[in-house]
Amino acid sequence: MATRFLKTAALVGLAVATLAAPASAQEYSWDMPNTFGRNSSDGVADVVFGELVTEKTDGAVKITHHFDGSLGYRGVDHLTAVQDGAVQLARHPMSYYGGYDPIFLLSTLPFLIQTDSDVTTMHEIIAPYVDMAFEDYNQVVVSYGLFPPSGIWSKKPINSLDDLKGLKIRAFDLNSLQTFTGAGAAAVNMNWGDVLPALSTGAIDAVVTSADLGFASGIYEYLPNFTEINWAVPLSTIAINKDVWDSLPEEIQAEVMDAGAETTKRTFDRLTTQVADNYAGMRQAGVTVAEDAPEDVMAALREAAQPVLDDWRTRAGDNAKALDEYLAAVGR
């Protein structure tokens, strides 16, 4: 009778297959944390990935999802949690990893991505760089995800630059922190798990994030205004601990990769209707959606963004060529 081989992060960490039973008889149980909710863009993608993996491996690999940081890891912790084998794989919000490698922040550089085709181009260019970066952290990337364009959720409407100046606003990475601070806001870099507590105590009055994440998490109960600025389309990944990966039979590796590629495609295809669907739901819930931000606000943000781009180039070193490749590909 085939031996059942189950390992979870809570019990023994890595799921390393060392049993003598035939590969087809082994089963692998993986825990997958996500700092965001099940209904967020990354949450939806994780569910799709898990279902596809189970289907394509004929049940050999089963993934247990842990949304909303329920395993106790903040988003910034996921990189080392997978690297060290505390969990087998994770959804990686790369915008949190700028302190590890600037390449993780490329997709969140201000105002680079303005169209659906820009998203595809960014993914095609950034993937080889990001895959190599994750190798340095003992991981194999199997899928990419995204959040729709970031905007400003606020208590009061953003009608002019005066409304932005001094605004206590949550930024989500170094790029957004520097840009909004440069435009006069009182920005603070904050993990997503800290956002709702900060709103409830009045520590912040606004949040930079996508319409998708804000709506899915219910922050409109605190912030009933959304201003579209098409700030960035942050990319994320699913990456697996390399020791776990290397222990898998080649057939299962291929099936997991296939599931990851299909998840990426479905996630990117969904973007074509996601923004409109979000706006419709938000308006029905009473959110005021401004699709045209004030010109003085946009001018101030764009001016503040230039030093951010220059600083990223300096810190990225040789990897700065990825930005040049992207700009050339989109004709800028």
DSSP 254: H
Q: Please report, as a single letter, which amino acid is at residue 182.
A: G
What would the mean pLDDT of 44-71 be, rounded to a whole number? 97
Cα–Cα distance between 146 and 236 in angstroms, integer?
6
Q: Is the pLDDT of residue 10 over 90?
A: no
Domain 150-232+276-330 classification at class level:
alpha beta
The residue type at 146: L
Cross-strand bridge partners of residue 228: 151
Residue 25 confidence (pLDDT): 55
> Could you state, in order of their start, the residue ranges of all structural domains in the chain?
23-147+235-274, 150-232+276-330
Instruction: Please enumerate in sequence order all residues whose Cβ is within 8 A of that of 56, keeping only pairs 6 or more positions apart, or say none.
Output: 255, 256, 258, 259
Mean per-residue pLDDT over the chain, rounded: 92
Over residues 124-138, mean pLDDT: 98
Q: What is the pLDDT of residues 269-286, one digit of tens each?
A: 999 899 999 999 999 999
Tokens of 104: 């993780």
d(CA 299, CA 305): 10
Please determine whether the domains at 23-147+235-274 and 150-232+276-330 fall in the same fold group of CATH. yes
Superfamily designation of domain 23-147+235-274: Bacterial extracellular solute-binding protein, family 7 (3.40.190.170)
E strand segments, 48-116: 61-66, 89-93
pLDDT tens sequence across 174-205: 999 999 999 999 999 999 999 999 999 999 99
> Per-residue pLDDT tens for 283-301?
999 999 999 999 999 999 9
Q: Phi/psi of residue 74, each to 5°?
A: -80, 165
Find, among 28, 32, 27, 30, the residue nearest to 65 by Cα: 32
> Which pair of structure tokens corresponds to residue 165?
């100046």
330 pLDDT higher than 60: yes
% of the chain with per-residue pLDDT over 90: 91
Ramachandran angles phi, psi of 106, nearest 5°: -60, -45
